[in-house]
């Protein structure tokens, strides 16, 4: 069973965070299918958490069933009962935004459509989704563009299908998000040269990849095969070259796994929104061996109500250890989510604490 690439949307990090937290407010807003079982569930399902690599997200229940998944007999996703009455409103807004790619999404237009004050609609949406309806619309539009380009459609067709009104608007809005022009993205990032090495670390296999500008990816995992596949996935036409770890690479990896690399502020070649960059720069200021909660990070960057957005920014981090998202935990001290596995997160924090005791 192969997931539809169009369903692997921009909100995977947000959806995964909701899944980890069994967030019943998101019931009906999205569903998740498990490739190894062929079952789809609601976010609040209390079945065993699946491996992230085996999860595919759907914004609508019928899409999950069309892809061949059957309803979970434990959480009965076909009979969604929402814990938060605002969830039904937010679901309707999401479906409306997704169904009108070429329609300007403004608070005034949405408030008229749903008969609510702009303030109430905006607050309800941001409380559950973590961002504004307009930002959600932008992300949906970007995902439609990426899906069209990945399918080989012309830039003009992908632009029109995604709802971008003009070429100038398309290039203005997507330059930083794609990391290149839409035409280059369509071709899979030709001309890019990425060199990478895979080495053993105390936390499993570690892949370190870099362009001529800096480190573009640091991934942790149990399988070299999966690490290589993840590196090729976004830009399949880039020139990707594997190298045997050099002495300098091994030294860098040793610094990373012991929490010392940030003293050098490694050169990074990563794309980020302004908000992500704000969060990631703060994470780099958290000393090894210490942690902060998601709400403390939100307070520190001057966005006290953006706790969920902070969690998404952490989940979107592509350079493990160099940007230490593992040092962010829940308010009650629990680990929270981690892109490379919660047990690995515990091990990294324990290793950093042990290193500090050695000084």
The Cα–Cα gap between 146 and 186 comes to 8
H or E segment and range at residue 145 = helix 133-150
- DSSP H stretches of helix in 60-102: 61-66, 86-99
CA–CA distances in Å: residue 156 to residues 143, 148, 162, 166, 235: 15, 10, 10, 9, 20
Task: Report which of 146, 174, 176, 169 is spatially closest to residue 158, judged by C-alpha positions.
Answer: 146
Active site residue: 45, 94, 140, 325, which one?
325
Whether 75 sits among the annotated catalytic residues: the reply is no
Whether 94 sits among the annotated catalytic residues: the reply is no
The Cα–Cα gap between 255 and 201 comes to 11
Active site residue: 41, 45, 94, 140, which one?
41
Enter the tokens of residue 222.
Answer: 């149990």
Between β-strands 70-71 and 39-41, what pairing exists: parallel, antiparallel or unpaired? parallel
Q: Using the 8-state DSSP alphabet, how is residue 79 labeled? A: G
Enter the tokens of residue 289.
Answer: 């061996």
Note whether 86 and 25 are within 8 A (CB).
yes
Task: Report which of 180, 191, 187, 176 is spatially closest to residue 154, judged by C-alpha positions.
Answer: 187
Q: Which residues are catalytic?
A: 41, 325
């Amino acid at each position: 069973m192969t997931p539809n690439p169009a369903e692997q949307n921009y909100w995977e990090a947000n959806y995964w965070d909701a899944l980890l937290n069994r967030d019943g407010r998101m019931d009906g807003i999205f569903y998740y299918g498990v490739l190894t079982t062929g079952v789809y569930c609601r976010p609040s399902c209390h079945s065993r958490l699946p491996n992230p690599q085996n999860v595919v997200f759907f914004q609508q229940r019928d899409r999950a069933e069309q892809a061949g998944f059957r309803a979970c007999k434990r959480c009965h996703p076909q009979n969604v009962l929402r814990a938060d009455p605002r969830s039904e409103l937010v679901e309707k807004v999401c479906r409306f935004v997704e169904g009108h790619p070429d329609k300007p999404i403004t608070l005034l237009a949405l408030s008229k459509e749903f008969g609510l004050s702009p303030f109430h609609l905006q607050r309800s949406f941001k409380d559950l989704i973590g961002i504004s309806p307009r930002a959600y619309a932008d992300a949906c539009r970007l995902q439609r563009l990426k899906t069209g380009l990945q399918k080989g459609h012309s830039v003009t067709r992908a632009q029109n299908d995604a709802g971008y009104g003009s070429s100038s608007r398309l290039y203005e809005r997507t330059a930083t998000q794609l990391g290149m022009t839409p035409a280059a993205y369509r071709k899979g990032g030709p001309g890019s040269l990425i060199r990478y090495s895979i080495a053993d670390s105390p936390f499993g296999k570690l892949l370190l990849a870099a362009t001529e500008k800096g480190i573009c990816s640091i991934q942790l995992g149990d399988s070299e095969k999966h690490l290589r596949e993840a590196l090729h996935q976004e830009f399949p036409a880039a020139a990707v070259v594997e190298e045997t770890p050099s002495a300098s690479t091994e030294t860098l990896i040793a610094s990373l796994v012991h929490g010392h690399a940030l003293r050098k502020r490694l050169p990074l070649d990563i794309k980020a929104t302004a908000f992500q960059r704000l969060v990631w720069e703060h994470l780099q200021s958290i000393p090894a061996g210490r942690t902060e909660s998601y709400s403390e990070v939100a307070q520190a960057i001057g966005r006290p109500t953006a706790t969920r957005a902070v969690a998404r920014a952490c989940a979107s981090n592509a350079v493990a250890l160099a940007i230490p998202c593992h040092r962010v935990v829940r308010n009650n001290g629990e680990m929270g989510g981690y892109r490379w596995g919660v047990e690995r997160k515990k091990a990294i924090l324990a290793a950093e604490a042990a290193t500090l005791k050695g000084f």
